[in-house]
Structure 1
Amino acid sequence: MNLQFTLASRYLLGRKLRSLLTTLAVIFGVMIIFGMNTILPTMISALQANVQGAEGETDFTIVSKTGSSFPKDTAKSLIEIKGVRAVASSLERTINLPADFVDQDPSRPDQIIAVNLVGLNPEEARTVRAFPTVEGRYLKDTDTSSAVISQTLADAFSVRVGSLIHLPSVSGLTELTVVGLLPAAIGTENEQIFVPLTQAQKMTGEVGKVNTIKVNIEAFASKERRAEIQTNITSAIGANYKVGAMIADDEMFATMEMAKIALNAFGALALFMGGFIIFNTFRTIVAERRRDIGMLRTLGATRRMIIGAILVEGFLLGLLGSLIGLVVGYLMAVAVLAVAQGPLSAFINIKLGWPIIQIPLAVGSVMIGVSVTMLAGLIPAWNASRVTPLEALRPTAAEVEFKNQTGRGFWVGVATITLSLLALLSGQSAFILPGGVIFLVGLMLVAPALVRPFAAFFGRIIARLTVRQGIGGLAEKNLTRQPSRIAVTSSTSLLALATIVAAGGIVFSMKGTLLTMVDNSLGSDFIFLPPSVGLWGSNLGASPLLAETLRKVDGVDTVSTFRFASSQAKGQVVSVLGIQPQDFQKVSGLNFTEGSSAAYQELTTERTLIANSIFMVSTGLGVNDSVELTTPNGPIQYRIAAVASDLLNAKISTIYISQANLQKDFASDQDVFIQLDLRPDADQEVIGAQIKAIGKDYPQFKVISGKDYFNTIESQFEAAFSAVYILFAVLAFPSLIAMLNTMTISVMERTREIGMVRAVGGTRWQIRSMVVTEALLLAAIGAVFGILGGVYLGYMLVTAIEVVFPMGYSFPFLGIVAAVVIALLFGGAAAIIPARKAARMDIIQALRYE
């Protein structure tokens, strides 16, 4: 094994440029996988801190399965269970605060972005948690509008014991008197504000309700005893509750998991393209080191030793590239989180922290990088071991490969492309989706046979443009000497450029669809916008009084509101939105994919619902099917009347029911989102001032005009889609490495030939132009394959998205232009180093090269 390491290290150090290029491919793939999977946990952690507060250490926490509140007397039966030592009920709600609400200073970043309002019975709460006040006192049973807060929160509000603080509530701003201070908070959880239970019920509109029961049991209970007590608690509390750790906003974290899967696929694609580059590099080892391998075999080296030496090279390159990829990936995560802080805060007022490093992820990323590199070198290593000593020692020029390329692989490729086209013509998504994958595979298989025709076509064009220099035909012949190698490089470019073209199809298709949905969903004159759009459960709503007050404003025509509850259907967490169908249609609307707007009327006459596509896919149900929803009153059957979506709830499993049924079945009457339209003859400026004045008493909402919000969303779409293009352009980076690698190898193999051209009068400029022309021809071939694959891939992805989101396909003209531009720019860039190397060759040394 020492011999293999010695041979591998000497070869890598002797070919520094090629080793660097191969290592870059590994760095890029590992950077994407490690960096993106570092960003996601950090974002999830920040979101959890936003919607979940610190809770006392208790043995068991009991909440409703739907996440809703329940009668405060529910806990009475628990105290009688043998082994239960203490029981305390509370009403806990996260209140997302508007920007600059605490310090009122826009020039400084927000330190407090959300607080946990905890309503409790003072003496009962002390049985499960300690409240060590450092100033003032703890709450009393006779208190009303009193509050106990931490020292850090008091500093943020600039208050002390006896001072007043103001918090949003369902009835407007509420004043609380600070009667005690707890020690300064440590950790990243939201600050907590402890108030009497009746006060919390009044502020949240949950009179007579709690949403959390904390239970402590006998000390030193064994594992079996704890399980027995938990079983007894579950039996006593009933089937509508769950016992254990509280899990909030499951739908949000499920969405983040989907994003994580997508980013993993992105990284895997990057590493897969890197594997092509490494494979192409190792293939040339056999041809370039024939004499070295022959000498080793003559001296007694076995085939196993030859394979081992080449695999060790792959191991060393993979290990080095993976370690550097971890560092670069972490730096990328830091940069992405810094850039994402601003746009993300526009929708969800959160504070992102430093990237979270996971040791298993780091180890796994290194293993993936090393494995891909060694696998890419396995076939070349096997081929190297089969070179006989006599054959290897025979003097040969650079290998020229003119063998027939229309073999078995070509016809398999033709067959797979035919199958993918038949799948496309079928119009069935079940066939179209796998068809996109096999179409790309088919292009890769037929690529070697198409290299020469494509090179000849583009070569004639360049030959006419460079007729005086005579380099067009020469570049074409040089390029087609190794069609298999060029095909591998083109396959890398194919994947990269196909991704860009496909991204163009998705971007333009989605942009048109989303802007139409924005206009339909948010085209009202004024909007009362909560801090977290879509994550309704983390918002504090308003009582129906606010909407009634708005309806009384002279000039207001229609007011529509969303009311929220959480439920479960077939084991899936579901966001339940209550609407008033008639008012909702006037100021907003849904995009129907199954059924029609007649479903609105059905919501008012029976227990029916309108579901979005994500709900339908996750439950496997169809229109007119019945579904059992978990409610505080037990399971209740609803019928699915139609399938429709809007922009606000496009990523979360959501159903729409009437507000009457929401009140009856889920006991929810708080408005978490409000839209209103004015009469046609109304003075928007005057009435807008009145509406904003009313909104000042409800700081949990931002009052904006629908037109302004539409313009904001449109500009954010432009920025987001531009970022998508940048992201996919970055994915094209391996094609640059692949072309650079191929051109460098080509120059090395043609050292004698280049020396002969120089000897018969070829100038340095002609040599340089010849290499650049080869690179541009190579880029053009990759662009053709990439455009063909990208158009199909884009259509396939749009078809896949249509399963959960209504979207039509738009042809990616700009995506194709971007792919061609990137291909030519990368081709020119890839030729810089090899062209310079070729032009600077010494004629005598080049002619001596073997």
Structure 2
Amino acid sequence: MLRTALRNVLAHKTRLLMTALAVLLGIAFVAGTLVFTDTLGQALRNSASKSFSDVSVAITDRSASAYADSAEKNRSGATLTADTLKRITATEGVARARGVVDGFAGVADRKGDLIGDGWSTTGTNFVPGDGGRDSRYPMAEGHGPSGPGEIALDTRTAEKGGLQVGDTVRVAVNGPVMRLRLTGVFHTDDPRVSSGGSLVLFDTATAQRLYLSPGRFGEIDVAAAPGTSQAALLTRVEKLLPKSHTIRAETGQQLADDQAEQIARSTDSLSTALLAFAGIALFVGVFIIANTFTMLVAQRTRELALLRAVGASRRQVTRSVLAEAFAVGAAASLAGLAAGIGIAAAMRAVMGALDAPLPDGPLVVTPATVLVSLAVGTLVTLLAAWLPARRASRIPPVAAMSSAELPATQKSLLVRNSIGAAMTALGVAAIVYGASTGGSDGRMPIAAGAFLTLIGVFVLTPLLSRPVIALATPLLSGAFGVSGRLARQNAVRNPRRTAATASALTIGITLISALSVIGSSVNHAVDKAVTGDLKADYLVSMANYSDLSPEVAREIAKVPDVSAVGAMTSAQLDLGGRTRPLSGVDAAAFDRLVALRLRSGSTAALAQGQLLVRADVAAERGWHTGSTVQARYPDGSTARLTVGGVYEKNGMVSSLVLDNRVLDRHRKESGVSQVLLKGAHGESDSLQRAVKAATGDNPLIKVQNQDEIRAGFSQVISFLLNLLYGLLAMAVLIAVLGVVNTLAMSVFERRREIGMLRAIGLDRAGVKRMVRLESLVISLFGAVLGIGLGIFLAWAVNGTLKENLSGLTTVVPLTQVAYLLAGAAVIGLLAAVWPARRASRINVLEAIKGD
């Protein structure tokens, strides 16, 4: 039986080609993901270990970090100072101690545009050692900064900006733009630079003035003298540190281990996300594999029945079919592994071309990757072929007398439809429950319900195919005559086969349509928030989302055509033991800049030092206009505040609103999150330029009108959608292979029938048209199911996002839906090219005379 199985694989290699390709593509996705993430993780770990190679103990002050929140900054007491550094340097066992200061810094190119993405545009201090060099930043040209008017840049930033040693460079932090002389260009493996950012080196005194305060450090790195262990040095250093909740000392090895663990978590998350899409591709491949083996079993009914007749047991027949599946799966998995390694190498090259190169290092192909790839591909093929193999074992020996395919029994169809209906009902119920629950609590029921609904609909697809395809009967019969009628009859002749073929395409269309609806819904909600919640003409903010200097609002107010300016700040306010986000606003200009819809009270209450509360918070706490609440400010002081109004959700403010004059007295930091302004004559290019000039043409500061705000959100959403579409493209490609495979095998199966049609007058063009229309009908059937399921799932997901995005409603993008249907039609027509050509070239006499 094993020899028979291998001979069958060789005899049907053309018909098994598409199945092998489906497995190959899916495993290539899996292997490529594993190799790429292993390579990325290893390269980052190697780079991180280099970063801590000369650090034995690191002392950090979290309150000094650019990423520190207001709570940490407010908790800060004692800090790391020059005296701390001096005491540590004088400690026994210390070879060297280095004070570090860092924060955000934007560098402008020759056109005045920001180099980098804002988030990773950073600055730090240059610490000269022996020979005036800093071992962290080896100079490629020039020397490090030695005074307040000098800087050094990393080589990649200098190259992007077309900057050379000796040039005057415009640099900004959060205040006025500085014009500084470039004294050196250095090499660095800093991940912020390799990810597309920039790094500016200042002298220590300048960095302290810009980021902290004179004499203060955010970190002190200590190197141990020979013979001193990191643990021993840590014990000695900890005794010298000031008492503070935000200061912490760790060994270099501990930092390296923590960094490695963080990298592992990040790469694991990336790997999991990519493997999810690889799983979708393999799931689509299951339909193709199952369909292929079902058709092969049907075509070999007489052969398998004869094997039974000459003594083969049912178990032997099952093993024979599974042996074929094993051979196909193992060979395709091996090829997929090789393709996956190539994909990983290509992804690495693409990242380099996109200006985000990985640290140096070879491709990492682990034994686990090889085993997982081969095992997954082979097991998926075996599982998909199991039902056809089981069906093959049930072919009775008497079937050797007939070449007809054994029809499905009414009992089996009833059981199938009952199971499908039950799964669909349970899935829909779970989705509706999750959507009604809302928030993060509803996402798990929706995910489980989506899976059950998809499987249930796939099981029911044979039942659905007849009535849905029947809707196309008038068009097919009227416009395409005999070919159209034959195409419809062929599509519904074997509902299970049609269902399996359409279902592969349905999966991809479901996910694509769901993403499209969610993206359109979010974009619509953002449009509503900008146009409905914002009256201001312009919004001014930092590109890295850090705080603006308070001076920015004051300088903008001096622009002649500005009629209203309001600074917005943010803080956390403790109300009755529960902390909630608070927006600080300028009461005098608030009504002219923000469209706040009040249920009770008035925005005039802000000027009286009263609190405005969002409606859902007020309902939860039982508050109303006039209520008095006990509040604890960020600095720890307490006060009783009167609720001056209750408002509906608004995208521009948090759940609480208070006048900045009240809030500023109780918070240590003076930064402004954003500035809103209104022009005396509305928006204009001249006003926008004047406002930008008032900020000192700071490359880190963005001045956006309402259209640019919407475009910014839309751009992010479009990028994410395009990324997800690209990941789903593999599943769609495999679905296309499924349509090609089914049609090609169907043509082979119907050789005699096609020969008879040719003999009674159907020409080659008519045969081609029949196969193309059959493919078109099946593809559109799968697309219609997918679009319907996608819209339903998107509606449910939107239900969980409503509390995070005000005004979110489900918006169906009709243009994109039309594109999906058109795309499915094109897929159907392209998939039919080869099968239709093959069908039209069948020799009439050979087809009629027998199998």
Output the TM-score relative to the length of structure 1. 0.75
1:571 — aligned with what? Answer: none
1:452 aligns with 2:433: no
* CA distance 1:383–1:792, change in 2 (3 Å): same
Match of 2:691 in 1: 691
* From 92, 99, 112, the counterpart of 1:89: 99
1:517-564 Cα distance to aligned partner (Å, 9 max, x none): 3446776434445343xxx35xxx653223222223333233344568
Cα distance per residue 1:491-538 (max 9 Å; x no partner): 223323323432342232122112223446776434445343xxx35x
Q: 1:414: which partner in 2? A: 421
Give per-residue Cα distances to partners, 1:108-156, cap 9 Å, x unaligned. Answer: 998999764334776899999688889988788xx65555677888897
1:508 equivalent to 2:513? Answer no
Distance 2:98 2:647 in 1: 43
1:307-706 matched pairs, under 5 angstroms: 307-328=322-343, 331=346, 351-353=355-357, 359=365, 363=370, 364=372, 367-384=375-392, 390=397, 393-401=400-408, 403=410, 406-423=413-430, 427-429=436-438, 430=442, 434-459=448-473, 461-467=475-481, 469=482, 471-519=483-531, 524-532=536-544, 536-537=545-546, 542-561=548-567, 579-580=584-585, 582=587, 585-586=590-591, 646=651, 667-671=668-672, 673-680=674-681, 687-696=687-696, 698-703=698-703, 705-706=705-706
Equivalent residue for 2:284?
273
Displacement of 1:31: 5.5
Deviates more, 1:549-558 or 1:664-673: 664-673
Deviation of 1:200 after TM superposition, in Å, equals 1.5
1:213 aligns with 2:213: no
Instruction: Give the whole-Å Cα distance in 2 for the aligned partners of 1:252 and 1:673.
Output: 33
Give 1:274-293 correspondences, 5 Å limit.
274-293=285-304
Alpha-carbon distance in 2 for matches of 1:599, 1:362? 61
Q: Whole-Å Cα distance in 1 between the matches of residues 382 and 603 of structure 2?
A: 58
Distance across 1 between alignment mates of 2:452 and 2:632: 41
Structure 1, 547-556 or 66-75: larger mean CA deviation: 66-75
1:22 aligns with 2:36: no
Query: In 2, Cα distance between the equivalents of 1:821 and 1:135?
Result: 57
1:839 to partner: Cα distance: 1.7
Alpha-carbon distance change, 808 to 843 in structure 1, aligned in 2, over 3 angstroms: same
TM-score, reference length from structure 2: 0.75
Cα distance per residue 1:748-794 (max 9 Å; x no partner): 11222222333344433333333233223323432443243223222
Distance in 2 separating the partners of 1:78 and 1:656 = 46
Determine if contact 1:52/1:189 at 8 Å carries over to the other structure: no
CA spacing shift, 1:44–1:813, aligned 2, 3 Å: farther
Stretches of structure 2 lacking an aligned partner (at least 5 in a row): 624-628
Name the counterpart of 1:744.
Answer: 744
Number of equivalenced pairs: 799
Q: Give CA deviations for 1:145-182 in whole Å, capped at 9, x if unaligned.
A: 55567788889776658x86553244423355677x58
The alpha-carbon distance between structure 1 residues 498 and 713, as it changes in their structure 2 partners (threshold 3 A), is closer
Counterpart amino acid of 1:428?
T
- Measured after TM superposition, the shift of residue 392 of structure 1 is 6.8
2:172 paired residue number: 168
1:73-84 alignment runs, 5 A limit:
73=81, 75=84
Give the Cα–Cα distance (whole angstroms) in 1 for the partners of residues 53 and 659 of structure 2: 38
- Equivalent AA in structure 1 for residue 515 of structure 2: A
SS of aligned partner of 1:89: strand
Looking at structure 2, the residues matched to 677 and 410 of structure 1 have their Cα atoms a distance apart, in angstroms, of 63
Conservation of the 8 A alpha-carbon contact between 1:405 and 1:448: no
Any stretches of 5+ residues in structure 1 without a counterpart? 342-350, 569-573, 614-621
Shift in Å at residue 81 of structure 1? 7.9
CA distance in 2, matches of 1:502, 1:809: 11
Q: Deviation digits for residues 267-300 of structure 1, max 9, x if unmatched? A: 3223211221122112223223345556777597
1:838, CA displacement in angstroms?
1.6
CA change 1:105–1:222 in 2 (3 A) is closer
Measure how far apart 1:727 and its partner are: 6.8
Alignment check: 8 A CA contact 2:168 2:181 kept: yes
Asked if the contact 1:149–1:193 (Cα under 8 Å) also holds between the matched residues in 2, the reply is yes
Are residue 58 (structure 1) and residue 55 (structure 2) matched?
A: yes
Compared CA separation, residues 17 and 510, structure 1 to 2 (3 A): farther
Quick one: which amino acid aligns to residue 515 of structure 1?
A: D
Provide the C-alpha distance between the structure 2 equivalents of 1:586 and 1:638, rounded to a whole number of angstroms: 25
Over aligned residue pairs, what C-alpha RMSD do you find? 5.8
SS at match of 1:18: coil
1:846 is aligned with what amino acid?
A
User: Which residue in 2 is equivalent to 1:618?
Assistant: none
Q: Which moved more, 1:549-558 or 1:131-140?
A: 131-140
Q: 1:704 to 1:808 in 2, by over 3 A?
A: closer
- Write out per-residue CA displacement over residues 683-739 of structure 1, whole angstroms, 9 at most, x where no aligned residue: 956655543333335343244555555567667867876787777677533332222
Q: Which amino acid aligns with 1:167?
A: V
Q: Note the C-alpha offset of 1:811.
A: 3.5
Partner of 2:209: 202
AA aligned to 1:484 is R
When residues 628 and 286 of structure 1 are mapped into structure 2, their CA distance, relative to the original with a 3 A threshold, is farther
1:563·1:668 contact (CA, 8 Å) conserved in 2? no
Which amino acid is 2:756 matched to?
A: M
Q: Secondary structure of 2:669's partner?
A: coil
Cα distance change on mapping 1:715 and 1:456 into 2, 3 Å: closer
Q: Secondary structure at the match of 1:752?
A: helix
CA contact (8 A) 2:56 2:224 kept: yes
Alignment check: 8 A CA contact 2:423 2:453 kept: yes
Measured after TM superposition, the shift of residue 87 of structure 1 is 4.1
Q: CA deviation at 1:58?
A: 0.9
Q: Deviations over 1:443-499 (max 9, x none)?
A: 1222223333444454465334445x3x44544443334222222223223323323
Task: Look up the SS of the partner of 1:374 in the other structure.
Answer: helix
Q: What secondary structure is seen at the aligned counterpart in 2 of 1:669? A: coil
Confirm or deny: 8 A CA contact 1:307 1:384 kept in the other structure.
Answer: no
- Range 779-788 or range 147-156, more displaced: 147-156
Kindly tell me: are residues 799 and 733 of structure 1, through their superposed partners in 2, closer, same or farther at Cα, counting changes over 3 Å? Answer: farther
Cα deviation 1:290-327 (Å, max 9, x = unaligned): 45556777597945455333322222223324533553
After superposition, the Cα gap between the structure-2 partners of 1:413 and 1:515, relative to the gap in structure 1 and judged at 3 Å, is same
CA gap of 1:802–1:692, structure 2 versus 1, over 3 A, is: closer
Matched to 1:436, the amino acid is: A
Q: Give the CA deviation at 1:840.
A: 1.0
> SS in structure 1 opposite 2:54?
coil
Percent same amino acid among aligned pairs?
20
Deviation at 1:185, TM superposition (A): 4.7
